Chain A
């Protein structure tokens, strides 16, 4: 250890500011802000209160890389370079990295990852609320292999519970809160010979009738309506059993909303269960959203209703930003980051509405995507745009795009695979990179260049982060298996 290092280390142990001023860089802003961060870290105290409320916020497909893109996007929208920006969850005091693989999949899917977080066990890809003994798609294997979810456990403890998603409410992540299914795709029907389980939409209705789920908001109306029944926007249902689950829910006393106006009229006094189905399929990308509530608005409504419904017993709420994942699948980073911002706004809303002393907020992703970032880009290069070269004379980029060996510019972000592949099917999967300019690549509809041709860009097995604040948030530390998230949450609500 060099002398200088010893000096700094010793200073840190005593008073951090005194020795810092003896260094030539001690007045540098980076240095003083570093000292302030150190002091904040030293002041951290673990919160060992029992958690009354828990909010688990999952941004689907928002791994460390995608989250980085959203950070830069929101920062740049605010007028700064982007790198220095801090998303609401990035200001949380505790963090861990999460290993997301499923038991049979190095690259996970949302059904297996949702089950890991919600039930405390890893399982196979493509199955929901069941353990790894099941065979995907085989209903005969479900008996004896179902697992309990956080919503069910919390409901047993007297808490109110809810689910909010911008995907179909029967989609994998929200389904992991209430469904037991050998296949995530059994959303509105099961195979003819499957008698051992109901479809996922019916299971949601049953959970609401049983009081296990008090609030459910998202998309997916078509899975609740018969094939011959149009919904409020004239889209037809998909149920072939003829059941109208929306009518059945209303008859059971559930308050139903289908657009922003009926959403605004929902009673948030906890007196009745709430079911919001705001699209026939998934809710709109936030960039395209109209006539339906934002994720932050749904988050606020759900928390308000659950706080009242749960009373002193508290509540549990799972919130999913479901379409960050979908935009990534489309290779369309412009929409991914805008849904990422909508998620960040929901995190801020949840934080604002709750008390850190008794509410554990856990923010994470279920998996990452095959997204990657190029170099060497100067500060302020548009995260959606071209990688501009570093300016040795200043901090902002030079305004001159970096060129690849093909003498063409390239974007900061790209995907390893997907519909943006530069290999063309009509050229025997050979090709050259298209010439690109800044206006084109920053367009909302732009598809980032990719290497491997695939119609849908894929997930990746790379770690995701989990950010936490509130009771026992300090247990989120190191590199953890994804199912450990459940165990920390469960400990927080049961700790003596």
Chain B
């Protein structure tokens, strides 16, 4: 995620006025950033703690991967918008404890796990994440 992409996430949060927990106590991804591109106070306060985040499961990078990418919106492919599939701007890597059970890209899920902040590269896939849930489960 580059600088601009962080800005996108932050701007979205500002415009919609949804800083902090959603009304049902669960978190949506744009809650995790501030306007100045840093992690939000909410994210910092929750680092190392177990949280639940709403989103969608992007088609897994590998069928046997031990993580998947949570996207804020369905990872749809638009032939008239893009000539090839593009990765969303703001994403969350969800490292799971059990074998991955794929979910349709457009079915809303909730992932719970321990929030980790900071860049990390997955050794198997080379996937770089800035925000992760570890020891996660989802439904």
Interface residues of A (CB under 8 A from B): 109-110, 172, 185, 187, 233-235, 279, 281-282, 284, 287-291, 325-326, 329-332, 418-421, 424-426, 434, 439, 443-445, 447, 453, 455-456, 459
Contact with A along B76-101 (1 / 0, CB 8 A): 11111111001001000000000000
Interface residues of B (CB under 8 A from A): 2-4, 7-8, 10-12, 15-16, 18, 23, 28, 30, 72-74, 76-83, 86, 89, 103-108
In the complex the two chains form, what is the Cα distance from A425 to B7 in whole Å? 34
Q: Which chain B residue has the least Cβ–Cβ distance from A281?
A: B86
Q: Which chain A residue has the least Cβ–Cβ distance from B83?
A: A185
Contact of A233 among B4, B30, B73, B80 (CB under 8 A): B4
Known contacts A291-B7, A447-B74; can you find 10 more A-B pairs with CB under 8 A?
Answer: A235-B2, A281-B86, A284-B8, A330-B78, A419-B74, A419-B105, A419-B106, A424-B107, A426-B103, A456-B81
Chain A residues within an 8 Å CB radius of B77: 455-456
Q: A284-B8, A290-B11, A419-B105 are in contact. Are A456 and B73 (CB under 8 A)?
A: no
Question: What's the least CB distance linking B92 to chain A, in Å?
Answer: 14
Q: A281-B86, A332-B73, A444-B16 are in contact. Are A439 and B23 (CB under 8 A)?
A: yes
Question: What's the least CB distance linking A495 to chain B, in Å?
Answer: 36
Q: Which chain B residue has the least Cβ–Cβ distance from A458?
A: B80
Q: Which chain B residue has the least Cβ–Cβ distance from A442?
A: B16
In the complex the two chains form, what is the Cα distance from A321 to B81 in whole Å? 13
The 6 closest A-B pairs by CB, nearest first: A456-B78, A419-B74, A329-B78, A419-B76, A425-B104, A290-B11
A447 and B73: CB pair below 8 A? yes
A326 and B81: CB pair below 8 A? yes
Question: What's the least CB distance linking B53 to chain A, in Å?
Answer: 13
In the complex the two chains form, what is the Cα distance from A419 to B73 in whole Å? 10
Question: What's the least CB distance linking A461 to chain B, in Å?
Answer: 15
Q: Which chain A residue has the least Cβ–Cβ distance from B55?
A: A445
Question: What's the least CB distance linking B89 to chain A, in Å?
Answer: 8
A109 and B16: CB pair below 8 A? no
19 example contacts (A-B, Cβ-Cβ < 8 A) are as follows A109-B80, A234-B3, A281-B86, A284-B8, A288-B15, A289-B11, A290-B11, A325-B80, A330-B74, A332-B73, A419-B106, A421-B106, A426-B107, A439-B23, A444-B12, A444-B15, A447-B73, A455-B78, A456-B78
B12 and A288: CB pair below 8 A? yes
In the complex the two chains form, what is the Cα distance from A282 to B15 in whole Å? 20
What is the number of contacts between chain A and chain B, taking CB atoms within 8 Å?
90
A326 and B104: CB pair below 8 A? no
A233 and B8: CB pair below 8 A? no
A110 and B80: CB pair below 8 A? yes
Q: A421-B106, A424-B107, A426-B104 are in contact. Are A329 and B7 (CB under 8 A)?
A: no
Contact of A187 among B2, B81, B83 (CB under 8 A): B83
In the complex the two chains form, what is the Cα distance from A331 to B86 in whole Å? 17
In the complex the two chains form, what is the Cα distance from A424 to B73 in whole Å? 16
Question: What's the least CB distance linking B40 to chain A, in Å?
Answer: 16
A456 and B11: CB pair below 8 A? no
Chain A residues within an 8 Å CB radius of B104: 424-426
Question: Which of A234, A282, A444 has the most chain B CB within a 10 Å cutoff?
Answer: A444
Contact of B73 among A172, A185, A330 (CB under 8 A): A330
A288 and B80: CB pair below 8 A? no
In the complex the two chains form, what is the Cα distance from A268 to B82 in whole Å? 32
B4 and A287: CB pair below 8 A? no
Question: What's the least CB distance linking B98 to chain A, in Å?
Answer: 17
B106 and A290: CB pair below 8 A? no
In the complex the two chains form, what is the Cα distance from A459 to B78 in whole Å? 11
Chain A residues within an 8 Å CB radius of B82: 281
Q: Which chain B residue has the least Cβ–Cβ distance from A111?
A: B80
Question: Which of B10, B11, B103 has the most chain A CB within a 10 Å cutoff?
Answer: B11
